[in-house]
A and B are shown apart, each in its own frame.
Chain A
Amino acid sequence: MTGKPKKAAEINQMAHPLDDLLRTDRIPHIWCPGCGIGTAFSACLNAIKASCEDLDKVAMVSGIGCSGRGAGYIKLDSFHTTHGRAIPFATGLKLGNPELNVIVFSGDGDLFAIGGNHFIHAARRNMDITVICVNNLNYGMTGGQAAATTPYNAKTTTTPVGNPESPFNLPLMAYASGATYVARWTILHARDLTLSIQEAINKKGFSFIEVLSPCPINYGRRNKEKSLDTLKAYQDKSIIKNNAHPADLETDFSKSIVLGKFVDTDRLTCIESYDKTCRLG
Chain B
Amino acid sequence: MKPSVLTGEHYMTGDEACAEGALAAGCKFFGGYPITPATEIAERMAARLPGVGGTFIQMEDEIAAIASILGASWAGVKSMTATSGPGFSLMMENIGLGIVTETPCVIANVQRGGPSTGLPTMGAQADMMQARWGSHGHYEIIALAPASVQEAFYQTITAFNLSEKYRVPVLIMADEIVGHMSEKVRIPEAKEIELISRLTPSGRKDRHKPYAAGPNGVAPMGAAGQGYHMHITGLTHDEKGYPAMSVDAHAEMMDRLMNKIRNNLDDIIITEEYLLDDADIAIVSYGVSARTSLAAVDEARRMGIKAGLLKLVTVWPFPEEKIRQLAEKVKGFVTVEINLGQIHLEVQRCAGGKAPAYLVGHPGGTIISPDRVIAMLQEAF
Contact = CB atoms under 8 A, between A and B. Distances in A.
Interface in A80-107: 80-82, 84-85, 87-97, 99-100
Interface stretch (A43-51, A55-63, A187-195, A206-214): A55-63
B233 A80 contact: yes
A274 interface: yes
Contacts of A270: 57
Given A59-B224, A88-B67, A95-B72, A76 B229 contact: yes
Q: Which has the most chain B C-beta neighbours within 10 Å: A81, A274, A279?
A: A81
A117 B60 contact: yes
A24 interface: no
A267 B93 CA distance: 34
B77 A96 contact: yes
Nearest to B69: A92
Interface in A22-69: 23, 25-26, 56-57, 59, 61
Contact of A93 (B71, B94, B235, B242): B71
A92 B59 CA distance: 10
Given A85-B94, A117-B61, A80 B229 contact: no
B64 A85 contact: yes
A99 B77 CA distance: 13
B29 A56 contact: no
Contact of B231 (A72, A88, A94, A274): A72
B73 A96 contact: yes
B70 A89 contact: yes
Interface of A is mostly: helix
B225 A90 contact: no
A118 interface: yes
Contacts of B235: 80
Interface string B60-96: 1101110111111111110100000000000001101
A33 to B, nearest CB: 21
B223 interface: yes
Range class of the A interface residue count: 35 or more
A71 interface: yes
Given A61-B71, A89-B67, A92-B68, A26 B242 contact: yes
A82 B59 contact: no
Contact of A100 (B28, B75, B93, B243): B75
A222 interface: no
B75 A97 contact: yes
Nearest to B61: A117
A71 B235 CA distance: 12
A256 interface: no
B93 A92 contact: no
A72 B28 CA distance: 28
Contacts of B50: 274, 278-279
A77 B71 contact: no
A26 B233 CA distance: 14
Nearest to B94: A82
Q: Which has the most chain B C-beta neighbours within 10 Å: A81, A92, A118, A278?
A: A92
B271 to A, nearest CB: 34
Q: Which has the most chain B C-beta neighbours within 10 Å: A25, A76, A77, A94?
A: A77
Given A92-B31, A100-B225, A82 B76 contact: no
Given A72-B233, A76-B229, A77-B228, A96 B94 contact: no
B234 interface: yes
B377 to A, nearest CB: 47
A24 B247 CA distance: 24
A95 B60 contact: no
Nearest to B63: A85
Contact of B77 (A61, A91, A97, A121): A97
Contacts of B74: 77, 79, 92-93, 96
B67 A95 contact: no
A226 interface: no
Contact of B71 (A72, A84, A89, A121): A89
B23 to A, nearest CB: 15
A163 interface: no
A38 to B, nearest CB: 17
A92 B224 contact: no
A202 interface: no
Interface in A225-242: none
A93 B64 contact: no
Given A23-B231, A78-B230, A92 B225 contact: no
A129 B233 CA distance: 20
A92 B74 CA distance: 9
A89 to B, nearest CB: 4
A75 interface: yes
B97 interface: yes
B55 interface: yes
Contacts of B51: 279
B224 A97 contact: yes
22 contacts: A56-B227, A57-B225, A71-B233, A77-B228, A79-B233, A80-B232, A80-B234, A82-B67, A87-B64, A89-B71, A91-B71, A92-B29, A92-B68, A92-B71, A96-B28, A96-B55, A96-B71, A96-B79, A97-B224, A99-B225, A121-B64, A278-B50
Shortest Cβ-Cβ A-B pairs, 5 listed: A96-B75, A92-B71, A92-B68, A96-B72, A88-B64
Interface of A: 23, 25-26, 56-57, 59, 61, 71-72, 75-82, 84-85, 87-97, 99-100, 117-118, 121, 270, 274, 278-279
Given A77-B225, A82-B67, A96-B76, 8 more contacts: A79-B231, A88-B68, A89-B71, A91-B59, A92-B71, A93-B71, A96-B79, A121-B64
Interface of B: 28-29, 31, 50-51, 55-57, 59-61, 63-65, 67-77, 79, 93-94, 96-97, 223-235, 242-243
